[in-house]
């Protein structure tokens, strides 16, 4: 049914096939081909591409909120970080007595800080199913509480954007504190295994890339189905004419709340896939600058398209990899200049520009 649904959307079909090809081809080349082969991908490249795919999922989640609902959330990275911390806590519990201090129950940073027992909110994270559930519930619950209070009070526009930015900054300050029990400024790292497999092995990294690609494809398909449904049409109408939708009898705050929670859960999944591939999660992921970068990904790719957010996230982060290795001091200037140029000359992003060109050729 899904294939029949998308057969008329060539851009979506091409993007999904491309992601699926990358998610299968790159790991196979890494595992099967020798290092001397021109088609061989190193373990670093596999982890890097996997990271790009998680960022693409993160960008897609923001596009649902900003591109389709008109909510410019400048703190969306908080949900990504919370999902990452949930996965990081599971990975820390898997270390057991292989840590520096050999404590089978407490992570090394707790032993170093003279913690006597495991905090109650760490219970259950020795089980993968529980951690996976928290990856969804923690960002979703925070988005629900925040969204209910904000949307019910009809906070909109720049005021809502500033409040979301304040939220992620508050979480940044909280997670920096050692008393919180999340590793302080060092965060969670030195992971050993996931689901019983060595997390440093090339096979596990390859499977994580595959998982990232498959989750991204499923998230895109579900998001596209939702936005093409009646629910999605109402959400888009709220973006364009909120007061008119309200006068028609729809409870606008509930539609906003639903899409906000759904996007937060997708961001949490992206964070959970990101952490085992990079090997660390720390409070810097809550930085407001990170959330602003997500906005730039979506703006450059083209908001309100879903695939624009995916392409924008990959392109911007690939440019970041190149520039930070070549001239790291100019990266922020380049990012800011790119955002300004895209806003002025490509207000609908790269995909909007491409669609306009196609319409012009047809006419």
Tens-place pLDDT, residues 297-345: 999 998 888 989 999 999 999 999 998 888 888 888 888 898 888 888 8
Q: Which domain holds residue 103?
A: 2-362
CA distance 192 to 349: 41
Give the global pTM: 0.94
Enter the DSSP assignment of 67: I
pLDDT at residue 173 greater than cutoff 50:
yes
Q: Which residue has the higher pLDDT, 6 or 32?
A: 32
- Residue 264's pLDDT is 97
Q: Is the pLDDT of residue 13 over 90?
A: no
Indicate if the pLDDT at residue 3 is higher than 60: no
Mean pLDDT over all residues of the chain? 91
**pLDDT band, very low/low/confident/very high, at 73 (cuts 50, 70, 90):** very high
Res 359: pLDDT: 63
Closest to 296 (Cα-Cα) out of 335, 347, 348 = 335
47, 274 Cβ separation under 8 angstroms: no
pLDDT of residue 54: 97
Number of structural domains found in the chain: 1
pLDDT range class, residue 1, cuts 50, 70, 90: very low
- Res. 86 pLDDT band, cuts 50 70 90: very high
Has residue 168 got a pLDDT over 70? yes
Alpha helices in 153-197 (DSSP H): 157-176
Confidence of residue 135 (pLDDT cuts 50, 70, 90): very high
Q: Residue 346 to residues 12, 70, 332, 360: CA-CA distances in angstroms?
A: 21, 18, 20, 16
């Amino acid at each position: 049914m899904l294939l029949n649904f998308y057969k008329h959307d060539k851009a979506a079909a091409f993007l999904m096939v491309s992601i699926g090809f990358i998610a299968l081809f790159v790991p196979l080349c890494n595992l099967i081909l020798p290092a001397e082969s021109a088609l061989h991908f190193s373990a670093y490249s596999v982890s890097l591409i996997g990271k790009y795919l998680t960022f693409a999922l993160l960008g897609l989640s923001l596009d649902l909120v900003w591109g389709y609902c008109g909510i410019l959330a400048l703190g969306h990275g908080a949900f990504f970080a919370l999902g990452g911390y949930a996965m990081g806590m599971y990975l820390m519990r898997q270390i057991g007595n292989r840590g520096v201090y050999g404590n089978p129950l407490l992570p090394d940073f707790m032993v170093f800080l003279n913690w006597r027992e495991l905090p109650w909110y760490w219970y259950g994270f020795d089980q993968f199913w529980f951690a996976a559930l928290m990856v969804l519930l923690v960002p979703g619950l925070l988005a629900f509480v925040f969204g209910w209070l904000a949307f019910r009070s009809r906070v909109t526009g720049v005021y809502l954007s500033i409040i979301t930015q304040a939220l992620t900054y508050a979480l940044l300050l909280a997670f920096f504190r050692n008393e919180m029990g999340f590793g302080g400024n060092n965060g969670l790292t030195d992971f050993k295994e996931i689901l019983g497999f060595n997390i440093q092995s090339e096979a596990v990294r390859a499977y994580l890339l595959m998982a990232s690609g498959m989750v991204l494809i499923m998230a895109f398909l579900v998001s596209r189905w939702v936005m093409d449904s009646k629910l999605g049409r109402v959400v888009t109408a709220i973006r364009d004419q909120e007061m008119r939708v309200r006068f028609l009898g729809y409870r606008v705050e509930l539609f906003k709340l639903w899409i906000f929670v759904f996007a937060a859960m997708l961001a949490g999944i992206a964070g959970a896939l990101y952490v085992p591939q990079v090997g660390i999660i720390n409070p810097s992921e809550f930085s407001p600058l990170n959330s602003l970068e997500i906005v730039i990904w979506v703006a450059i790719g083209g908001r309100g398209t879903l695939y624009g957010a995916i392409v924008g996230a990959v392109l911007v982060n690939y440019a970041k990899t190149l520039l930070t290795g070549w001239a790291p001091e100019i990266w922020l200037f380049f990012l800011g200049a790119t955002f300004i140029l895209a806003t002025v000359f490509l207000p609908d992003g790269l995909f909007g520009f491409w669609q306009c060109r196609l319409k012009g050729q047809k006419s």
